[in-house]
Amino acid sequence: MRRPIMAANWKMNCTVSQARELVSALKGLVSEVSGVDIVLAPPFTSLPEVAKLIADTDISLAAQNMHWEESGAYTGEISPVMLKDIGCTYIIIGHSERRAYFGETDDTVNKKLKAALHYGLNPIVCVGESLAQREAGETTQVVGAQLQAGLAGLTADEVNRVVLAYEPVWAIGTGKTATPEQANEVHGFMRQQLSAAFNEATAQAVRIQYGGSVKPDNVAELMAQSHIDGALVGGAGLKADSFAGIVKFEG
Ligand code: 13P
């Protein structure tokens, strides 16, 4: 049985004071929740403040990006060691917005993934096809290639520590959710790929989140699917009550 994992990717939103308000409200709403991993990924500037606010909870902290080196002449970058130092335990790698706007490639995803594992951060690795790719019938080809290149060189034990997120680009921020069946089909394909590349036990153990317009009112049907183990949430993660609704998906 895979433990559900709900993560809020705040993207480039919230000042420190807005972050404080959001987290304070959320803490009250999810304090009774058990059996679900809850992860918050605020922007870098709010990480230390959010770390303090969640110190007395089971909520985990993630960054939205990092460099793969420990330190050095990389102006504007943040290293895995720095993230661990301020209390991050998760790291989002290869989000489609980073791939589309900031030159992230399968190769940099792979470097960051290896660094995350080396420095003891839990990676959330994002994959997903564009609308044009889906319409051209290339979804599994695209997702398969992203997985293969992104996870290249990892052992099965290392892959067991990875969370994958399937985020069809056409469903992000558009209000268009993949149907639960569409998402589950791709998740199932991803498990087949993991089984072929590593082993069946790993394929069954790895948690795969769905991301793309997840809301309190569609989360339950997504979570009812056999291969969907959680959600990576954008817009609905910026409101305490809606993210709490997602975290409590059974109710
Ligand atoms: P939305 O939930 O706003 O569609 O964003 C999804 C996403 O990109 C999470 O990483």
CATH code of the domain in which 13 resides: 3.20.20.70
d(CA 26, CA 50): 11
d(CA 194, CA 144): 10
pLDDT of residue 143: 98
Q: How far is the CA of 32 from the centre of ligand 1 (A)?
A: 25
pLDDT of residue 206: 98
Q: Which of 127, 129, 214 to mutate to test the pocket of ligand 1 (most atoms within 8 A of CB)?
A: 214
Which amino acids bring their CB within 6 angstroms of ligand 1?
A: 9, 95, 167, 172-173, 211-214, 232-236
Pairing mode, strands 5-9 and 207-211: unpaired
Q: Which of 97, 104, 167, 227 is catalytic?
A: 167
Q: Give the pLDDT means over successive 10-residue stretches in the chain (251 positions).
A: 97 98 98 97 98 98 98 98 98 98 98 98 98 95 98 98 97 88 97 98 98 96 98 98 95 51
pLDDT of residue 1: 83
Minimum CA distance residue for ligand 1 atom 5: 234
Q: How far is the CA of 96 from the centre of ligand 1 (A)?
A: 10
Q: Is residue 6 within 8 Å of 233, Cβ to Cβ?
A: yes
pLDDT of residue 173: 86
118 is catalytic: no
**Residue partners of 238: CB distance under 8 A and separation at least 6:** 8, 10, 13, 14, 22
d(CA 156, CA 111): 17
pLDDT of residue 178: 86
What would the two tokens of residue 206 be? Answer: 């790895």
Minimum CA distance residue for ligand 1 atom 1: 234
Q: Where are the alpha helices (DSSP H) in the chain?
A: 16-30, 47-53, 80-85, 96-101, 106-119, 131-135, 139-150, 156-159, 180-197, 200-205, 216-223, 240-247
Which atom of ligand 1 is closest in space to residue 212's alpha carbon? 4
d(CA 49, CA 14): 12
Nearest Cα to Cα of residue 125 among 242, 250, 5, 251: 5
Domain count, the chain: 1
Which atom of ligand 1 is closest in space to residue 236's alpha carbon? 2
d(CA 220, CA 130): 25
187 is catalytic: no
Q: Which of 95, 97, 104, 129 is catalytic?
A: 95
| Torsion angle, alpha carbons of 100, 211, 208, 169, to 10 | -30
Q: At how many degrees (to 10) do helices 16-30 and 240-247 cross? A: 40
The residue range of the domain holding 125 is 5-247
